[in-house]
Structure 1
Amino acid sequence: MSNLEIITESRFTTVFIIKMLYAFMCGAHLDSIINEIRELEKPSKNYKRMKPATKFIKQPLEGLWHKHYEQVGLKSMAMNIKQQMGLNNKQQKIFNNTFFKEFCDIFNNSEIPQDKRIEALGYLCSGKQYIDRINDGKLTGEWIIYHHCNGKNYYLNVGNHSDGDDALAQEIREIALFEFPFFKGSLPIFD
């Protein structure tokens, strides 16, 4: 029995396994996915790396939940840094004021050698933003899609933001009711 089977008590669909393996073949770390599932099953009060799980509110995935798992690589890191620096208007204003002050303090400090200033500015513009996002528990990535039913989580799909909700819903519909017939009527996707 695998860690995934033990952690979830085998509450996952065939589609979930296939898509998890596909994600692995595309560069995802299976440990990242399994760690987020472990966190969903037995939450740790000290864990706050990734964004909290969120319920889909629009069709066709309405009522299902998704949890982000961390993608590795520069693309994911860049997306998180960009999101950290481009928050909503109120937060953006606070961020801009703080960031601009820190940036100017480093840039204008002639007591720091130029190469050290460049290094500090590089860190401020990238590494610090990524670490702050982790510390705030707001890291984003791709999706683990699941259904919370009868007090338990059932893992249905692994998806990318770019997959499209309709395609993800179709993959879920094609197998979920066959493997978990008691889902029938529990959500619009299972009607």
Structure 2
Amino acid sequence: MPNVSISATIVEDDTGRATEVSDVDLREFSKQIGLEQVAPGRYSILLAVNLLGGALSGVQNPAQVVHEIALLENNELGKFKAPIKNRHPPLRGLWHKHYQQSGLASLAMNVNKGAQSVRHPSFEQKMQEANEAGELRYLTPEDIPALVEDAINGNRQRLAKRQALTGEWIILPSMRVRTTT
């Protein structure tokens, strides 16, 4: 990567305050977050700038992205969908790997996916008990916290166990030979 120094003004959405950030060396930043170690010389300036912007604005933890790149480079599966080698132009030959972006949007994406594809064991058990007893039962306010916990954290854990979590894409070349496509 060429020596690139970035100066930026970050405006906080809710307050309108501006913060000046000057002379951030992208190469040094890439080393500090581990990007240079996991993909030496094989990442774009755009990726580094995006990670820097996400870190400075507080909307992305670059360590999450670097971790997923390291998994791709080491041919290891994580909790997200398996990496896929793109077959069609303009991305042919490049790999895409999912990662979870910080914030509610990525969480909501996986909660929605879980709600559509994964059952809620605790809720189904209550329904089965009511059916076996021949009773019509309603959810009570006491039932709601456990149902919400299962819908959010339980579904996320079940998706992670199946390596089915989804998220944003990282697109990059990989130097490792893959056995899956």
TM-score bucket (shorter structure): 0.5 to 0.7
Give matches, 1:24-103, under 5 Å: 24=55, 25=57, 27-44=59-76, 48-87=78-117, 95=118, 101-102=124-125
- What amino acid maps onto 1:77 in structure 2? L
Once the 2 structures are TM-superposed, how far is the Cα of residue 26 of structure 1 from its aligned partner?
6.4
Q: CA RMSD in A?
A: 3.5
1:124 maps to 2:150? yes
Q: Which has the higher helix share?
A: 1
- Partner-residue secondary structure (3-state), 2:156: helix
Q: TM-score, normalised by structure 1?
A: 0.59
Q: 1:17 is matched with which residue: 42, 48, 53?
A: 48
Q: Distance in 2 between matches of 1:64 and 1:10?
A: 15
Conserved in 2, the CA contact under 8 Å of 1:55 and 1:65?
yes
Conserved in 2, the CA contact under 8 Å of 1:48 and 1:135?
no
Match of 2:127 in 1: 104
The higher relative CO (CA closer than 8 Å, separation ≥ 6) is in 1
Q: Distance in 2 between matches of 1:103 and 1:65?
A: 44
Runs (5+) with no aligned partner, structure 2 = 1-27
Runs (5+) with no aligned partner, structure 1 = 88-94, 154-191
Match of 2:39 in 1: 8
Once the 2 structures are TM-superposed, how far is the Cα of residue 106 of structure 1 from its aligned partner?
7.8
Once the 2 structures are TM-superposed, how far is the Cα of residue 127 of structure 1 from its aligned partner?
2.1
- Partner-residue secondary structure (3-state), 2:114: helix
- Partner-residue secondary structure (3-state), 2:98: strand
Q: Distance in 1 between matches of 2:49 and 2:90?
A: 21
- Higher Cα Rg, which structure: 2
Cα distance 1:106–1:139, how it changes in 2: closer, same or farther (>3 A)? farther
Match of 1:179 in 2: none
Alpha-carbon displacement from aligned partner over 1:53-82 (angstroms, at most 9, x marks no partner): 112233322332111111122221110111
Q: Distance in 2 between matches of 1:114 and 1:86?
A: 23
Identity of aligned residues (%): 27
Give the paired residue count. 142
- Partner-residue secondary structure (3-state), 1:66: strand
Conserved in 2, the CA contact under 8 Å of 1:103 and 1:121?
no
Conserved in 2, the CA contact under 8 Å of 1:107 and 1:121?
no
Conserved in 1, the CA contact under 8 Å of 2:120 and 2:151?
no
Match of 1:175 in 2: none
Q: TM-score, normalised by structure 2?
A: 0.62
Alpha-carbon displacement from aligned partner over 1:76-129 (angstroms, at most 9, x marks no partner): 111011112324xxxxxxx4696873462588899xx94432222222322211
Q: Distance in 1 between matches of 2:84 and 2:111?
A: 21
